Structure 1
Amino acid sequence: MLPRLLLSTALACFLVAPASAQDLRRRPDDPIPPQLDTLYERGLAYLAKNQTDAGAWSDSMGGEPGVVGLCVIAFLAHGEDPNHGPHAKVIQKGIDYILSQQRESNGYIGSSMYNHGFATLALAEAYGAVDDPKIAPALKKAVDLILNAQSRNASGAWRYTPESRDADTTVSGCQLVALLGARNAGLAVPDEAIRKGLAYMARCRGGDGGYGYTSASGGKPTLTAIGVTCLALAKEKEGKGFKNSLGYLRDHMNYRDRHYPFYFEYYMSQALFHADEAAWNEWNDKNLRYLSTIQRADGSWPGPKGEAFNTSASLLSLALNYRFLPIYEK
């Protein structure tokens, strides 16, 4: 029906191979649950139908470039052809919107480092796949802003604005994942920047493996999932801290974040996928059942953060089943 993208982490390049929606390139030992395609495609249909002419979404957070970035990644993570497929215009409009929100002066996207981080990740995942020469320079400027913000930060990490002198694990985790995504795409990201960011995250990890918000106290599963995701993507999975944090997540497999439920889904799926195959399989089954029971008839997911964020984050928590993006490969 439409091309699917296979992305190689080793070469950080993109190869397009035609396949039907029912004929995805899957490993025999990694079958995709039969209900997943229906669930995912309904979510994409909702996003495609409700995108504005400008390329954003009109709900409470749908105009944030970071949310638009997550929506774009949700399409790419399903293997949609961004140049000629049925959702190509949706993807391109989303990228155009992100680019329109980038400041020419310094490369800053949006009005917060949350937005900047997720938008940068979207550009990194689109780089090389989307036929748009504007992406490469925009991605380079976005990465440079993250690195410059870190260089001015006393903690070697990030918080709400590029000028912030303090840091927290949510914003810092977002920037680390964006940098790792850009490095996968072939951009030069200094190892020292990753090391310093991970060192800050480690200072916020308690003895039980749980990550706190700005210190090692008050550990929470959502924050711990962010920390584990960063370590796993950075290929830092051998230390005692990583093992303790993974054990913490295993002990919270039934946790639901009351305030940021889909943010938790998004990171928990990635953390377990990269860290523990058995735990991810258990989580994936539960997550699929849970999300299938609360998906609306129109394909969206409800919640206080707006349908665009809720739907894209839900889809991305399921996208590990497809493994089309470098960030979703082991």
Structure 2
Amino acid sequence: MRSILSLLLFATALPLAAQDLPRRPDDPIPPQVDAMYERGLAYLGKTQNARGSWDDSMGGEPGVVALCVVSFLAHGEDPNHGPYAKNISKGIDYLLSQQNSTNGYIGNSMYNHGFSTLALAEAYGCVDNPKIAPALQKCVELILSAQKRNNSKAWRYTPDSTDADTTVSGCQLVALYAARNAGLPVPDDALKNGLAYMARCRGSDGGYGYTSAGGPKPTLTAIGVLCLSLAKDKEGKGYQASVEYLRKNLNFRDRHYPYYFEYYMSQALFHAEPDTWNDWNARNIRYLATIQSRDGSWPGNKGQSFNTAGALLSLALNYRFLPIYEK
């Protein structure tokens, strides 16, 4: 662990390397996407409570608040002066309020912590809040310390877990890559060890299982493909096999966590193959357009804030504002 002095020096120097949101590319945005996205953001904006969270079944979970915050940023909303600036600010403040001041842990699960780390990393450098940098540093340190204690050099539900799975591990890897993009130091060995665990859960057909190579699922495979894409490791046979596995499952819909699947599937295919992503994107737009509610939310049993954030983020690759979406 760093000394108190080095932490203070790091927190002071960090803004110099902060990231800026890139401009919207020249690629035209499908009008239907714009309409759907704006309605979804309007729903999230008007239903956010005074604390910065949401009042539905999962809306108080920091990980859900984090995804809602990222939904705003992914649309290129001005986080300091735009129409949703207060929503973004309240969401960030809520995440910061949920962080343990001693060890940096946010929430009560590594899902919450990982998505919160991602949100802080994407907000860092574009949201005017000096508390983000030291909080993000603590988040990264907790992820790294949890990995060191883990028998698989990966992650599961809590920082003290000794076993691992691909969903939690993938979440932490994406968070670490986002933090590295933001300018924070992330050891290469931590990323390599996490990716090695993910590879051990990949079968010969390219599909990823939950805690082993058995029982592969498209959702888990999308997470694995995204992690390899962020690692810039697309040349191996394993990556190509996994992309082919996803290509064969373009019509798949996860019955239990549909928006979680779409969130990862969209990113995985975007990084993998333009033509396949274009095909998936067109299908996803049509599907989400048919089920979006009148109030702009998306239905499901996980809470409208989570459903809506997941649906929006599966559409956000059409905008490509966030650094994590850069190829």
Same fold (TM over 0.5): yes
Alignment correspondent of 1:26: 25
Alignment correspondent of 1:13: 19
Alignment correspondent of 2:259: 262
TM score, norm. by length of structure 1 = 0.93
The CA deviation at 1:328 is 1.2
Identity %: 74
Residue 133 of structure 1, aligned match among 130, 133, 137: 130
Structure 1 CA distance, aligned partners of 2:65 and 2:254?
A: 22
Change (3 A) 1:125 1:217: same
Letter in 1 for 2:40: G
Which structure is higher in strand share? 1
Alignment correspondent of 2:113: 116
Task: Give the SS at the match of 1:14.
Answer: coil
Alignment correspondent of 1:5: none
- Is the aligned partner of 1:169 residue 2:166? yes
Task: Give the SS at the match of 2:31.
Answer: coil
Letter in 1 for 2:32: Q
Q: Write out per-residue CA displacement over residues 96-147 of structure 1, whole angstroms, 9 at most, x where no aligned residue.
A: 0000000001000000000000000000000000000000000000000000
Residue 156 of structure 2, aligned match among 150, 154, 159: 159
Change (3 A) 1:15 1:325: closer
- Is the aligned partner of 1:190 residue 2:166? no
Change (3 A) 1:212 1:15: closer
Structure 2 CA distance, aligned partners of 1:47 and 1:290?
A: 20
Letter in 2 for 1:289: R
Alignment correspondent of 1:56: 53
Structure 2 CA distance, aligned partners of 1:126 and 1:114?
A: 18
Residue correspondence of structure 1 range 241-252 to structure 2 within 5 A: 241-252=238-249
Dislocated runs of 4+, deviation >4 Å: none
The CA deviation at 1:284 is 0.2
Residues matched between the structures, number: 311
Change (3 A) 1:279 1:12: farther
Alignment correspondent of 2:92: 95
RMSD over aligned CA atoms reads 1.0
TM score, norm. by length of structure 2 = 0.94
Structure 2 CA distance, aligned partners of 1:15 and 1:173?
A: 24
Change (3 A) 1:328 1:15: closer
The CA deviation at 1:31 is 2.4
Q: Please list every run of 5 or more consecutive structure 2 residues that lacks an aligned counterpart in the other structure.
A: 1-16
Q: Please list every run of 5 or more consecutive structure 1 residues that lacks an aligned counterpart in the other structure.
A: 1-10, 18-24
Structure 1 CA distance, aligned partners of 2:117 and 2:235?
A: 28
